[in-house]
Structure 1
Amino acid sequence: MGAALGFSLVACGDDSDSGDDTSGSDESSSASADTSESASESASADAGGSFTNDKCAGSDTSANKFAVGGILPLTGNLAFLGPPAVAGVGLAVSDINAAGGVNGAQACSNILDSGDSTDMSISTASAGTMVAAKPSVVIGAESSSVSLNFVDTLTDAKITQISPANTAIDLSGYSPFYFRTAPPDTVQGNALGTLISQDGYTNIGFLVFNDTYGTGLRNAVQQTVEAAGGKCVYGCKGDGDEFPAGQTTFSAEVQAVTAAKPDAIVIIAFDETKSIVPELASSGFDMSKTYFVDGNLSDYGQDFEPGTLEGAQGTLPGQDPDQGFKDNLTGWYKSANGEDLKDYSYGAESYDATILAALAAAKGGANDSQTIQKNLAAVSGATDGEECSTYADCLKLIEGGSDIHYTGPSGIGPLDDENDPSSAFIGIYQYDANNKNILSGTVEGSKPE
């Protein structure tokens, strides 16, 4: 999987894209994990649509509902990614029910907390609860390390898991019951490494946390840079310079990386980034020569002094969805939680994961998780079916006996034999004077054969 990938420029953003970026937020989703009662609340959203917030009751399982479980970050250093994922699942469930449900049953959702890799007991407990709840599918986690903590638990129970955000290479083909709608790090790593090399930088330093996601992505970027004739000067694979997740001070790491005199520095971390950036800026390093990744590509307008990150760049897996989808995502979240959605990261991937699972159940004629597992690749387009872009339209084709190829807002290609997207888009972002990340372009990449 380390082979070089081919990329082609497919779209470019301009200043009008400034509202379509990923904006970090410390807000936690208020989506309830309580399954003690069923709730179905309708509201008219600002986007002009009508949405339902359909929560599973304690007695709801795959036997009587299309029961969507979620293990998503409601707390911890990835909590800013929780709301868009919760909204993606909720909007998908709302759309599924508007089209009549799945196999004669209504859809419902039950979202539990994944926490983060600093406290694995949270996701362990949530996975145990999910097994007891017997869902049709589980959406999550967003951290690769967290998914690796409980994937075996779901696999042993034959529960299909679809992550909307995991990118660790170690998860490709990990389990027949594990799928993802985000591309592995070979795709993003190649895109970022190519961007760095095209910008003319040859001596690269890494500030990376010791996490499956962090080291895997670092390795992919480093390999691409070296293939282009560059070299790693700090934080390289095998050197042991990684810092532990959750660290709060970085004076030693900043002193070490700047002493290596890199042309550019790649920061691969989560919330630790808010501590790294001020120390790196204070060291005198040119912050326009720093690069970010999906785990920390956020709007830092409220965190750093204006101009701190101006010119810095980063990558984010996923196609930038159209405004109509974003409006619906925000509309659902506001109807369910009474506040606006401030971030869209992995909302489309969460939506598509839920829709794909529902279509797989419809194709197989049952809402149990094993039926979904057997049919998931087929409805994603692996059997070259007829293209369709909504649950309602795809359902009509299935009911008419046709094979389908669902093409959703995330823009991923069909799932391959390792249960990964066979292709995906990677957004290229650049920071402005207000430390806001602005979409500047999009490349499409494919996994190597």
Structure 2
Amino acid sequence: MHGGEKIFSSRLPCFGKSKSRLTWRKYRAREIISKSQQQAIALAITFLASVILTGACGKSITTSWEETGLKIGALIPLTGDLSSLGQPMPEVIGLAVNTVNQCGGVNGKPVTLVVEDSQTNPEVGVAAMTQLVEVEQVAGVVGGFASGVSTAALPIAVRSQVMLISPASTSPIFTQKAQQGEFEGYWARTAPPDTHQARALAKLAREKGFKLVSIVTIDNDYGIGLEQQFIEAFEQLGGTVVNKYQPSRYDPQATTFDNQVLLYSFGNTPEALVAILYPQTGALWLKAANQQNLLEQTTLILTDGVYSPDFPEQVGKTNKGKSLLAGAIGTVPQVNGQGLANFTKVWQEQTGQEVSVFAPHAYDATVLLMLAAEAAGVNTGEGIKSKIPEVAGGTGKKVTDVCEAMELVRQGNKINYQGASGNVDLDENGDVAGNYDTWAVEADGKLKVTGKIIPD
């Protein structure tokens, strides 16, 4: 399963003799992929084959290795701990690519998309990123999603002058490294850093009246970064993290959990437990805690890492059918871009699905790569890097429609793309600002957005 490209015969928009192809590669997983995951991946491949490679001319063109148009990669967790987040993303990114291809492509040629599975694993992410950069020779990559994968992929991107835009890697470590000049401008993200979420989470906890909380986190860049930022923010609001000096952290590869560690996480009688988790391992952790009758003792405060309708189902229900997570609260980046309504409409028409968490961010990341390449007039990472700040948040005309934006850029006009996720105005560190939705888990396990919160 290490190689295995799929080459499709395609129908393209009117590009004369231009050719395009879609490459799909998946590295060997460390664990068996479930049947539902296989079905989801198969659905994504089918969708990509149809939306990217189907156009208006009606002329069938066989794909080719010779490609002179813009080629972008997607580094996505189709399997592993964040698979519930990643599985819709090939469709999302494919929708953006298809939209641009149908209105003229980039620099006169269709865009090619290459999808790689990171398996939510930094080591696999390195292999996948290397494949995208050195073999496929992409100019830009949408991803990674897990902060640890992005951390591992960035040295490859910088060394090879490939632009990396993440829709979901929120660790504060990226801001710090960008400030130190480590990324040389080849990094940006369309989701706000967890310095913002930490303040929103702390504010939510205090608004709910909690003064004493405990914290448990997945032991990776995302978990530790948000943990440290939350402790600082919560203390600034007058709260106390009872296990501040020995926070509970679990191994991202763990499948079982020591009872003493579980008991320690709920020790010192906290009023709430802040749980910074990934879905698969987080569900296992919470199930183990429930077996020790610990979940009934406190309120759970969750984060964007598990904001998925599937997560309560993964954790389970009581014998009476009540969700084990009933009453849990949390935060997730607010999606409020001027382009959101149109994206949602087209997405639902194309897929019949609801918009999933970070889907608008992935769409916007893809659009920014293509707009920047068009503005630069070259299909290179260096060119994209030079124009990303201009198209994302410059002084030009504010525009939400992707095809209108592309046409304005072709005519030499400056634009300020207004995305589906937000205004995507990138600062000097490649960060966007953001507010947050608050949410809760109802008795039947459904997620309900309960309000909005502005980090102070």
Shorter-chain-normalised TM-score: which range? Answer: 0.7 to 0.9
Of the three residues 240, 246, 271, the one matched with 1:263 is: 271
Of the three residues 220, 245, 248, the one matched with 2:252 is: 245
Are the equivalent residues in 2 in contact too, given 1:315–1:428 (CA < 8 A)? yes
Matched, 1:391 2:402: yes
Q: CA deviation at 1:365?
A: 1.2
Q: Rate the CA distance shift 1:367–1:287 in 2: closer, same or farther, 3 A.
A: farther
C-alpha separation in 2, matches of 1:287 and 1:356:
46
Q: CA deviation at 1:295?
A: 1.2
Q: Equivalences for 1:350-429 in 2 at 5 Å?
A: 350-381=362-393, 383-421=394-432, 423-429=433-439
Q: Equivalences for 1:196-207 in 2 at 5 Å?
A: 196-207=205-216
Matched, 1:314 2:330: yes
C-alpha separation in 1, matches of 2:242 and 2:235:
11
SS of equivalent residue, structure 1 residue 101: coil
Give the match for residue 72 of structure 1.
Answer: 76
Matched, 1:209 2:218: yes
C-alpha separation in 1, matches of 2:61 and 2:78:
16
Q: Rate the CA distance shift 1:56–1:265 in 2: closer, same or farther, 3 A.
A: farther
Of the three residues 282, 286, 309, the one matched with 1:277 is: 286
RMSD: 2.9
The TM-score normalised by the length of structure 2 is: 0.80
Give the number of the structure whose residues are more often helix, by fraction.
2
Q: Rate the CA distance shift 1:341–1:445 in 2: closer, same or farther, 3 A.
A: same
Q: Rate the CA distance shift 1:408–1:393 in 2: closer, same or farther, 3 A.
A: same
Give the match for residue 164 of structure 2.
Answer: 161
Give the match for residue 65 of structure 2.
Answer: 59
Q: Equivalences for 1:13-28 in 2 at 5 Å?
A: 28=40
* Aligned residue identity for 2:204: L
Of the three residues 126, 129, 145, the one matched with 1:127 is: 129
Higher relative contact order (CA 8 A, sep 6+): 1
Question: Once the two structures are superposed, what CA deviation does each residue of 1:340-394 show, in whole Å capped at 9, x if it has no partner?
Answer: 647612111111011111111111111211100110011111x322210021121
C-alpha separation in 2, matches of 1:342 and 1:79:
17
C-alpha separation in 2, matches of 1:286 and 1:39:
47
Give the match for residue 21 of structure 1.
Answer: none
C-alpha separation in 1, matches of 2:130 and 2:382:
18
Q: Rate the CA distance shift 1:208–1:157 in 2: closer, same or farther, 3 A.
A: same
* Aligned residue identity for 2:163: T
Aligned length: 398
Give the match for residue 356 of structure 2.
Answer: 344
Matched, 1:141 2:144: yes
Are the equivalent residues in 1 in contact too, given 2:215–2:247 (CA < 8 A)? no
Q: CA deviation at 1:221?
A: 1.3
The TM-score normalised by the length of structure 1 is: 0.81
Q: Rate the CA distance shift 1:357–1:444 in 2: closer, same or farther, 3 A.
A: farther
SS of equivalent residue, structure 1 residue 29: helix
* Aligned residue identity for 2:429: E
Matched, 1:440 2:450: yes
Are the equivalent residues in 1 in contact too, given 2:308–2:356 (CA < 8 A)? no
Q: CA deviation at 1:241?
A: 3.2
* Aligned residue identity for 1:403: K
* Aligned residue identity for 2:368: L
SS of equivalent residue, structure 1 residue 71: strand
* Aligned residue identity for 2:398: E
Give the match for residue 302 of structure 2.
Answer: 292
Q: CA deviation at 1:198?
A: 1.0
Q: CA deviation at 1:92?
A: 0.3
C-alpha separation in 2, matches of 1:315 and 1:330:
24
User: Could you tell me the percent identity over the aligned residues?
Assistant: 25
SS of equivalent residue, structure 1 residue 259: coil
SS of equivalent residue, structure 1 residue 206: strand
Are the equivalent residues in 2 in contact too, given 1:84–1:343 (CA < 8 A)? no
Give the match for residue 241 of structure 2.
Answer: 232
Q: Rate the CA distance shift 1:326–1:56 in 2: closer, same or farther, 3 A.
A: farther
Q: Any unmatched runs of 5+ in structure 2? A: 1-35
Give the match for residue 111 of structure 1.
Answer: 115
* Aligned residue identity for 1:79: S
